[in-house]
Structure 1
Amino acid sequence: MYCITPVSTVNDSAIWHKINNKTKPIGALGKLEPLAAQLAAVLGHQHIKLMPQAMIFAADHGLARAGVSIAPSEVTQQMVHNFVAGGAAINVFCRQMQIDLEVIDCGMLSPLDDSLGVINQRLGAGTEAINVTEAMSLTTLEQGFEFANQRVEYHRQQGINLLLLGEMGIGNTSSASALMTALLDIDSDLCVGAGTGIDEQTLIRKRQLVADAVVLHQDKRGDTKAILAALGGFEIVQMTATMLAAAQANMLVIIDGFIASAAALAAVKLNPHVKDYLIFAHTSHEQGHQLMLANLAAKPLLDLGLRLGEGSGAVLAYPLIEAAANFYNQMASFEDAGVNSVV
């Protein structure tokens, strides 16, 4: 399906020699050092050049009709209008970091006017309710993968080498929790959290609905695509495929929070080599995220108590990624600076 080449280790010795001989004690820059090594291994060990693009994947979920969120599904489209108008947190952060942002309609309840500039990759008018039937057919999932492949190829041709992924979709923490439960084969109560801030009664209902959905589709365990079609969202499917296509194209991907990490979990299940191309931005406030990150052996850059989505955490982590590239490219070596080596 995807031909992802494991990141070559042939330059590892040269990369770490360069990092360890900067004018600092070995390891003194903490997480920035393995991050710089990852950037150099994928993007070039002589000089790291970052060309970022932020992407928000928006879609609606049939399960939202059961009342699993603080807001109705109509808010998905309202927030997309806010993204287009430049008024959301992700817009503010992208402007600050000077990163271009695009919004992709993967399948909201109703389409938007083409004049708004939202990219149309619709797979339908929201998924089916996952506690009743499959969220989508396998044919629809494959169409979502194809849309993602095409979009990644477009960005590759523009010279982009770093994608920052986020999402918008009322009810999508329920879908992500169900996917996590099925993919890791664990108790759903460990995976279901309060999302953007539901009350205790709603949380109880959400836990039951997610548990029901996982039981309904338990025959699909062991087949990641079938699980993704049964329990996923249109935006989760397209984020999963975007990660796979980006890795195939030798591009790095910054993963936002809980929902994006669920897509990453599915991507790694489909092709473990994709993990080498992923950078995990932050630990979400959402219950289950730390467990998911631990399963992925991921070490996020930030822990800010975020639970917003939109790719906000991915963009907030970007300055650290830029700093890792800059110290690798610009920091003097002991020899260059005429400083005695520090052990």
Structure 2
Amino acid sequence: MKLLTKTIENIGPLNQETMEQTRYRVDHLIKPLGSLGRMEDLAVQLAGITHQPYPKTDKKVIVVMSADHGVYAEGVAPNDQSITAIQTPNFARGVTGVCAFAKQARADVIVVDIGVAVDLDAPGVINRKIRYGTDNMAKGPAMSREEAVKALEIGIEITSEQIQKGKNLIGTGEMGISNTTASAAILSVFGGFDPSEVVGIGAGLSVDRLSHKAEVIRRAIACNQPNPKDGIDVLSKVGGFEIGGMAGTMLAAAAHRVPVVVDGFISTAAALIAVSLSPQAKDYLIPSHSSAEKGAAKATELLGLKPMFDMDLRLGEGSGAALAFNFVVAATYMVREMITLEEAGIVL
């Protein structure tokens, strides 16, 4: 708990001075005022995050957290839980969807076994297993409060290590069969939604099973009574180890003044946990895409974030974050490489 507390204490406001410097330059670049739209706002946000008017985001990494969920036993997922164990080593091999996009973006991918249901003997997979998957949240808490804190702190530790190695742009990713169920539960609690409003098909659940999925979440919330004013309580009762790990990644990035790109629905659920623990952490989050998962729009609206693009993605893994890295880097190039009207000798 000490690491979590210290990390939260180190999250401060964005640097207004550097934001003003960058805003002035952006407004005077050789282009019509505001013509690069939200790219201009992104450049200003990056300046505020990093305390640098000319920030660099050239050393990128996606941190993928993998874990299983006890609620799988309720029949809320179309695929066998063994897929988590099969797919997790594939991240380390560099052959998954996020890995393909990360290679294009020249980003590293690291994968953490934070709670896969079986032992993995796979080169490149970091073993920080809390235990072999969460408990069934439809019958009791998914994990203990101590385990929830541990998940958050593992995310903090892994991400802090990456930042100490020089990484200056972080993306969140995950793997875990049934984690859309946990994410919908988290969103239902924080937003006060009935689960039927936010459950989606996840990895391909048939539409006629959505009402069952919603009912499982309804039972889990009724059984556990998670407190929406206590993010650790929500995480422990209806969350997942990988969701806690991603929330820890976001908190660590904010504490180190490093921008963190939030992937899709599951990552956004993790962002709800992170922001509940540190409201200022929201300023360090860069949402990637509008996920096609049903609850994603409500989750980003609840956070007050606006995704950068919409291509009907719902893979997860960090795939949208890897694609979004290109926008983030482009914003830094805009500030550094474009000249101002004055530098061009143009007087308006």
TM above 0.5, yes or no, is yes
Aligned to 1:234: 241
Bigger shift: residues 1-10 or 326-335: 1-10
The one-letter code matched in structure 2 to 1:302 is F
Q: After superposition, where does 1:106-117 map in structure 2 within 5 Å?
A: 106-113=114-121, 116-117=123-124
Aligned to 2:253: 246
Q: After superposition, where does 1:219-298 map in structure 2 within 5 Å?
A: 220-298=227-305
In the alignment, the residues of structure 2 paired with residue 55 and residue 290 of structure 1 have an alpha-carbon distance, to the nearest angstrom, of: 23
The unaligned stretches of length 5 or more in structure 2 are: none
Determine helix, strand or coil for the equivalent of 2:52: coil
Aligned to 1:65: 73
Alignment counterpart, residue 311 of structure 1, candidates 312, 318, 329: 318
The one-letter code matched in structure 1 to 2:82 is E
Asked if the contact 1:58–1:104 (Cα under 8 Å) also holds between the matched residues in 2, the reply is yes
Alignment counterpart, residue 31 of structure 1, candidates 38, 62, 67: 38
In the alignment, the residues of structure 1 paired with residue 306 and residue 127 of structure 2 have an alpha-carbon distance, to the nearest angstrom, of: 34
Bigger shift: residues 162-171 or 190-199: 190-199
C-alpha distance after superposition, 1:132-154 (max 9, x if no partner): 01000011112222222221221
The unaligned stretches of length 5 or more in structure 1 are: none
Determine helix, strand or coil for the equivalent of 1:10: helix
Asked if the contact 1:240–1:266 (Cα under 8 Å) also holds between the matched residues in 2, the reply is yes
Asked if the contact 2:229–2:276 (Cα under 8 Å) also holds between the matched residues in 1, the reply is no
C-alpha distance after superposition, 1:249-302 (max 9, x if no partner): 111110000000000011111110000100000010011111111111111111
Determine helix, strand or coil for the equivalent of 1:100: strand
Aligned to 1:172: 179
| TM-score of the pair, normalised by structure 2 | 0.95
Determine helix, strand or coil for the equivalent of 2:62: strand
Alignment counterpart, residue 194 of structure 1, candidates 197, 201, 205: 201
Determine helix, strand or coil for the equivalent of 1:24: coil
* C-alpha displacement of 1:217: 1.6
Alignment counterpart, residue 320 of structure 1, candidates 327, 333, 345: 327
Aligned to 2:218: 211
| TM-score of the pair, normalised by structure 1 | 0.96
* C-alpha displacement of 1:321: 0.8
The one-letter code matched in structure 1 to 2:235 is L
Asked if the contact 2:89–2:124 (Cα under 8 Å) also holds between the matched residues in 1, the reply is no
* C-alpha displacement of 1:30: 0.8
| 1:181 maps onto 2:169 in alignment | no
Aligned to 1:99: 107
**How many residues align structurally?**
340
Asked if the contact 2:92–2:109 (Cα under 8 Å) also holds between the matched residues in 1, the reply is no
Asked if the contact 2:128–2:154 (Cα under 8 Å) also holds between the matched residues in 1, the reply is yes
Aligned to 1:90: 98
In the alignment, the residues of structure 2 paired with residue 317 and residue 219 of structure 1 have an alpha-carbon distance, to the nearest angstrom, of: 33
Aligned to 1:154: 161
Structure 1 runs of 4+ aligned residues shifted over 4 Å read none
Identity %: 35
Bigger shift: residues 148-157 or 313-322: 148-157
Asked if the contact 1:65–1:72 (Cα under 8 Å) also holds between the matched residues in 2, the reply is no
Asked if the contact 2:230–2:276 (Cα under 8 Å) also holds between the matched residues in 1, the reply is no
Alignment counterpart, residue 131 of structure 1, candidates 132, 135, 138: 138
Determine helix, strand or coil for the equivalent of 1:116: coil
Bigger shift: residues 93-102 or 273-282: 93-102
In the alignment, the residues of structure 2 paired with residue 170 and residue 286 of structure 1 have an alpha-carbon distance, to the nearest angstrom, of: 15
Seen in structure 2, the aligned counterparts of structure 1 residues 280 and 219 have a Cα distance that, compared at 3 Å, is closer
| 1:142 maps onto 2:122 in alignment | no
In the alignment, the residues of structure 1 paired with residue 185 and residue 138 of structure 2 have an alpha-carbon distance, to the nearest angstrom, of: 10
C-alpha distance after superposition, 1:33-83 (max 9, x if no partner): 000101111224332111211111110001112221120110011111322
The one-letter code matched in structure 1 to 2:269 is A
| 1:56 maps onto 2:56 in alignment | no
In the alignment, the residues of structure 1 paired with residue 96 and residue 231 of structure 2 have an alpha-carbon distance, to the nearest angstrom, of: 33
In the alignment, the residues of structure 2 paired with residue 219 and residue 27 of structure 1 have an alpha-carbon distance, to the nearest angstrom, of: 44
* C-alpha displacement of 1:219: 5.4
Determine helix, strand or coil for the equivalent of 1:337: coil
C-alpha distance after superposition, 1:10-47 (max 9, x if no partner): 23322211000100111100110000101111224332
The one-letter code matched in structure 2 to 1:37 is V
The one-letter code matched in structure 1 to 2:247 is T
In the alignment, the residues of structure 1 paired with residue 163 and residue 130 of structure 2 have an alpha-carbon distance, to the nearest angstrom, of: 23
| 1:302 maps onto 2:312 in alignment | no
The one-letter code matched in structure 2 to 1:329 is R
